[in-house]
Structure 1
Amino acid sequence: MTDHEYLDQAEALLARIEAACDAINDETDADIDNQRVGGMITLVFANRSQIVINLQPPLHEVWLAAKSGGYHYRLVDGAWRDTKSGDEFWTVLNREASAQAGLPLRF
């Protein structure tokens, strides 16, 4: 994958996260504050816990940091997969955000 292809895919991922936060806030009582600065989005929950998603262009990865730990993702066959477990990004984001919000969320 070229640097340009990585950036296109990674930026699309961040845009989808932002749009999903807006939808979640409209449809639930989660009240997630999402703040984007460059290639990083910080999701702040009502209990003040955070999830941070940031791009790592030199590695062609996306990193997610949550209360449970840190995860590194690479694009594999069209899906962002954890480099250790192989878990898909959206599965982990849904699980971690639900745990931190205290209610089921679906990005």
Structure 2
Amino acid sequence: MNEAEFLAEAEATLLALEDAIDECEGALDFESSSGILTIDCEDTDTQVIVSRQLAMQQIWVAAKSGGFHCQWDDGQWRCTTTGESLHELLNRVLTEQSDGPITL
């Protein structure tokens, strides 16, 4: 994947996450700026940070449970340590940091 392709995929992913958060039933809010999506878990006053990392061509997730790196693999972002898709990973860490289940 070249730099332009990475930026396009990462931007599309972050925008899709914003839409999913808007539609989510959970107590979530977000702020987005310059390739960094800050997701606020309002019921527990915690955050999950999702950011694009151009040099590594990865999307990184920072949560209370740790840091995770997602690599583009066969048409989706996949966590390099857990094997979860980015959406599976976010559903898990957001549920862990919220008072109820979260499904994006």
TM-score, normalisation: structure 1: 0.91
Unaligned segments of structure 1, at least 5 residues: none
Unaligned segments of structure 2, at least 5 residues: none
Q: RMSD of aligned C-alpha atoms?
A: 1.0
Q: Does residue 40 of structure 2 align to residue 44 of structure 1? A: yes
Letter in 1 for 2:69: H
C-alpha distance in 1 between matches for 2:79 and 2:27: 27
Cα deviations by residue, 1:46-102 (Å, 9 ceiling, x for unpaired): 221100000101110000001100000110101111122322111110011112112
Bigger relative CO (Cα 8 Å, ≥ 6 apart): 2
Letter in 2 for 1:41: L
Task: Give the structure with the larger helix fraction.
Answer: 1
| Percent of aligned pairs sharing the same letter | 33
Where has structure 1 moved over 6 Å in runs of 4 or more? none
Equivalent position of 2:60 in the other structure: 63
